[in-house]
Chains A and B, each alone.
Chain A
Amino acid sequence: MIIHMNAKLIGIGTTLVILAIVVAVVFVPHATFEAAHRPSDDYRPLTTLEMQGRKLYLKNGCNNCHTQYIRAVDWGLGAERLAQAGDYFGQTPPMLGSIRTGPDLSQVGGEHTDDWHAAHFHNPRYPRPESIMPNFGFFSPAELRASIAYMQSLGFRAADARVRRQLAWREKAMAAYAAGIDQNIRWLHDLVPQGWRDVPNPYPATEVSLGRGATIYQRWCLGCHGPVGDGQGPAAAFLYPPPLNFTTLARHADSSGGLLYYQIMNGITGTAMPYLKRELESEKIWDVSNYLAQYFIGNNDANLEPKGIDAAYEPAAKEP
């Protein structure tokens, strides 16, 4: 049997099938998916400035590299909160994105300070030396302001809380910096719980450890703190309070491996110094602490007592 196809069947018949399918898989979900039509708990509308930033995000195609939804399998920034349908309430269009050449941005609000963003937009390799994001140095001051405002709004109310925390710490950090170099270091050291300050770097400062420390320093730290640790990296011009000059730590005998570890792990909220505990595992932070202490501070307590239990494979500890 031969079934004959003809123009009517193709032109009208199949087109009606397509229309039926549009109704079934687009308009039925649109009409029946209730969660899409009410905002999620965290949601708040964007301000005019944030909306301008969102338009720039759209115009420059940022969604071609950055996603705005957290999945069940994700780790990293924002992973604590799965994306909800109501997060995209009223957005025309929502910008979920389909590829992560860069990180997900749905919870980036309050993660970094405004001055970090200014440096990062100008040249992403300033604060993040290995980034492959294009430069946005062509932004006018108004465009830059709007884009930063939009970044800080991502994550809605949770982002607002983070931004408020950044601003509160920022005041303290600025006051400490204004008080003078040594007072600033005093303030920074006093933020660290005593237990951490008493811990020397448990990893011996071997050539291997220092080499790894150097690699990590180059990938994560050099953009702000500079190649010689003097706080004169290319991003420094954008940042206030400016990045710490590690060589000044030599004047403070209470600098310790544990203290450096703690500061790298938790960052200095309110300043451009991010927390790195999400991005670097424990040994890597110890390695980069070793590198700082050995080369920039000139005062390394690596592998000194008290170590507590001897690690199984390491050389015996030295007496201080």
Chain B
Amino acid sequence: MEETRTQFLASRLFFLTAAFWVLVAMTLGLIMAIQLAVPETYADIPQLLYSRLRPAHVNLVVFGLVLPGLVGAALYVVPTVCRTTLFAPWLAVASAVLWNGVNLGILGTLIHGMTQGREYAELIWELDVAVLVMYALLIVCVFGTIARRKEKLLYVSAWYIAGGLCWTAVVWVVGNVMWHPDTGSLSGISDAILNWFHGHNVLGLVITPAAVGVAYFIIPHATRTPIYSHTLSLLGFWMLLFVYTHTGTHHLLQAPVPQWLKVLSIVDSVALLIPVFAFLTNVWLPLRERIGRLHQDVGAKFVFVGTVWYFITCLQGPLHSLPVVQRLTHFTNWVVGHAHIAVLGFAGFISMGAVFYLLPRVSGRRLWSVRMAEAQYWLMSIGLIGFFLTLTSAGLIQGQAWLNGEVIYRILPQMSLYMVLRALLGIMMLTGGTLFTINVVMTIWRGQKVDS
């Protein structure tokens, strides 16, 4: 028991981090949603400007909710699949503590307008460095654990987690242009190319591998069934690495950047279907007769639904990269809908599911309230489906109207209904997030001991 306490202290801290920052991140989202529906709600308070909150919201969903949940899970998964204990657990604890400091820094700097103004790379240099330290500490723990593994065959979850951490560290340094501390940018249009290389990969090369790695552990674990094929997992892993990384320019198809780069990004975006379906086949196919086992555990259910959102997100992604589709969808709310199902639906559901699934294992206490988790599941599922439909519809209206020569201002009155719906659905999701916070805190504080 004592061993569990120190061994998984970092996991518990990371889970608590997710449980706290989900509230902040989703509250920011709701504040912004209200502003889009009723623009003068908090007029002339610069710290609550929609345009300053947006990067704070995005960064805190990633660093506040999604990643801490997945990292906390990874710190359980990697030692488990290696049949050993976590290497240097105190470094992971240090990373968790630093992580919260960084989140505080993200919130404080961005709402005060301290930003480098590059999408997904807004953070000032000092915070960039701190994030890098966070990753470096985790890299030491993960690779140290792998180095002393007692299991000869390294399981696919560990590949993704270890690989993802290294890739994101590289992408972070390059993408934030950390050798230019003041501006954090290259000069001219090349910076847009780099910005979107980063914007695509900073999410895709840490969130995707972490979420896929964790799902690769939890789904077979919960159903007590091995994955379909080792070869398929190899294919998925290597294809993700080679294909995902070229696609950033599909955000700039209509911008003045080199044509060959656009072509490359479109081809590789479509090719992304291969690693996605390699992973989904691998975890879904063995479920054929065992899907009921997934539903016995609310955490596993969240993770499974995360893979369903992954399926939808990754059908959309390659489609969006086709110029003929992008003509309609680019610059519209459609893209915002896509971003929400990707980050909250896919990675967020897997992250929260992993927290529920692993919390009893890292804290030695049963989940405080399964009912509450179920309520959260439905609130967030309905909220997110509604969000997706609302924003996609709004995006189609905008896109069609613009193609027909309507100016932006003419379409704003038509957007109003969708912005109101969006805010209402945001209330559902924030309620779900609040249940998550209560559940995690109460489990660690008051949960029934597993032994007793």
> What is the interface of chain A, defined by CB distance below 8 A to chain B?
2-7, 10-11, 14-15, 17-19, 21-22, 24-26, 29-30, 32-33, 35-37, 58-65, 67, 69, 71-77, 82-85, 87-96, 98-103, 123-125, 128, 130-135, 137-138, 219, 278-279
Query: Which residue of A3, A58, A98, A279 has the most chain B CB atoms within 10 A of its CB atom?
Result: A98
A–B complex contacts, Cβ < 8 Å, 12 sampled: A4-B153, A18-B171, A26-B197, A29-B258, A30-B194, A35-B189, A36-B190, A62-B51, A69-B254, A76-B407, A92-B185, A279-B409
Residues of chain B within 8 A of A67, CB atoms compared: 331
Q: Among the listed stretches B37-45, B269-277, B289-297, which one makes contact with chain A, having 4 or more residues with CB under 8 Å of it?
A: B37-45
Complex CA distance for A134 and B185, rounded to whole angstroms? 27
A25 and chain B: residue at smallest CB distance: B246
B50 & A65 in contact (Cβ 8 Å cutoff): yes
A95 to B118, CA, bound (A): 8
Least Cβ distance of A101 to chain B in Å? 8
Q: How far is the CA of A214 from the CA of B313 in the complex (A)?
A: 44
**B interface residues, how many (CB within 8 angstroms):** 91
B245 & A18 in contact (Cβ 8 Å cutoff): yes
- The residues in B between 123 and 158 inclusive whose CB is less than 8 angstroms from any CB of A are 143, 146-147, 152-154, 156
B contact patch SS = helix
B55 engages A61 (CB within 8 Å): yes
- Return B97 CB to nearest CB of chain A, in Å: 25
B403 within 8 A of A: yes
Nearest A residue (CB) for B183: A92
Q: Which of B118, B188, B254, B415 contacts A73 (CB 8 A)?
A: B254
Give complex CA distance A32, B193 in Å. 13
- Which of chain B's residues have a CB closer than 8 A to the CB of A94? 188-189, 191-192
Known: A18-B167, A35-B189, A134-B51. 12 other contacts (CB 8 A): A14-B166, A30-B190, A32-B258, A37-B188, A61-B55, A65-B51, A69-B255, A73-B403, A82-B256, A85-B189, A91-B191, A102-B408
Docked CA distance A99–B245 (Å): 23
B230 — which chain A residues lie within 8 A by C-beta? Answer: 2
Partner of B170, one of A19, A36, A62, A88: A19
Contacts of A24 in B (CB 8 A): 246
Which of A11, A72, A95 sits near B143, CB closer than 8 Å?
A: A11
Q: Which residues of A contact B415 (CB under 8 A)?
A: 132
Whether A131 lies near B51 (C-beta < 8 A) is no
Residues on B with C-beta less than 8 A from A36 are 188-190
Q: Are A58 and B254 in contact (CB under 8 A)?
A: no
CB pair A10 B159 closer than 8 Å: yes
CA distance A130 to B405 in the complex (A): 19
Least distance between A30 CB and chain B CB atoms (Å) = 4
Return the 10 tightest CB-CB contacts between A and B, nearest first. Answer: A61-B51, A93-B185, A58-B117, A71-B254, A59-B113, A75-B405, A30-B190, A100-B331, A92-B183, A85-B256
Partner of B113, one of A60, A84, A123: A60
Contacts of B147 in A (CB 8 A): 7
Give CA–CA (A87, B167) in the complex, Å: 32
Contact B116 A93 (CB under 8 A): yes
State in angstroms the CA–CA spacing of A103 and B413 once bound together.
14
Cβ–Cβ contact A99 & B408, under 8 A: no
Which chain B residues numbered 397 to 418 have a C-beta less than 8 Å away from chain A?
398, 402-403, 405-410, 412-413, 415
Question: In the complex, A62→B185 CA distance in Å?
Answer: 18
Interface residues in B102-124 (C-beta closer than 8 Å to A): 113-119
- Is the CB of B52 closer than 8 A to any CB of chain A? yes
| B257 with A11: CB separation less than 8 A | no
When distances are taken between beta carbons in the complex, the residues of chain B under 8 Å from A37 are: 188
Check B115–A61 contact: CB distance below 8 A.
yes
In the complex, what residues of B have CB within 8 A of residue A133's CB? 39
A51 to B: closest C-beta gap in Å:
13
B203 within 8 A of A: no
Residue-wise interface mask of B (235-269) relative to A, using a CB-CB cutoff of 8 A (1 in contact, 0 not)? 00100011001101101101111100100100000
CB atoms of A14 and B331 under 8 A apart = no
Contacts A4-B153, A61-B55 given: A76-B408 contact, CB under 8 Å? Answer: yes
Q: In the complex, A10→B145 CA distance in Å?
A: 14
B232 at the interface (CB under 8 A from A): no
Contact B55 A18 (CB under 8 A): no
Q: Once the chains bind, are A64 and B55 in contact (CB under 8 Å)?
A: yes
Distance (Å) between the CB of B299 and the closest chain A CB?
Answer: 27
Q: Is the CB of B408 within 8 A of A130?
A: no
Q: How far is the CB of A15 from chain B (nearest CB, A)?
A: 5
Q: A36-B189, A60-B49 are in contact. Are A278 and B407 (CB under 8 A)?
A: yes
* Chain A, Cβ-Cβ closest to B139: A11
Contacts of B159 in A (CB 8 A): 5, 10
CB proximity of B419 to chain A, nearest CB, Å: 8
Q: Which residues of B contact A76 (CB under 8 A)?
A: 405, 407-408
Q: Are B241 and A14 interface neighbours, CB within 8 A?
A: yes
For residue B54, which residues in chain A have a CB less than 8 angstroms away from its CB? 61, 64
Q: Which residues from chain B contact A33 at a C-beta distance below 8 Å?
A: 189-190, 257-258
Q: Which of B54, B119, B256, B258 has the most C-beta atoms of chain A within 10 angstroms of its own C-beta?
A: B256
Say yes or no: is B421 at the interface (Cβ < 8 Å to chain A). no
Give every chain A residue within 8 A of B187 (Cβ-Cβ): 89-92
Contacts of B55 in A (CB 8 A): 61, 64
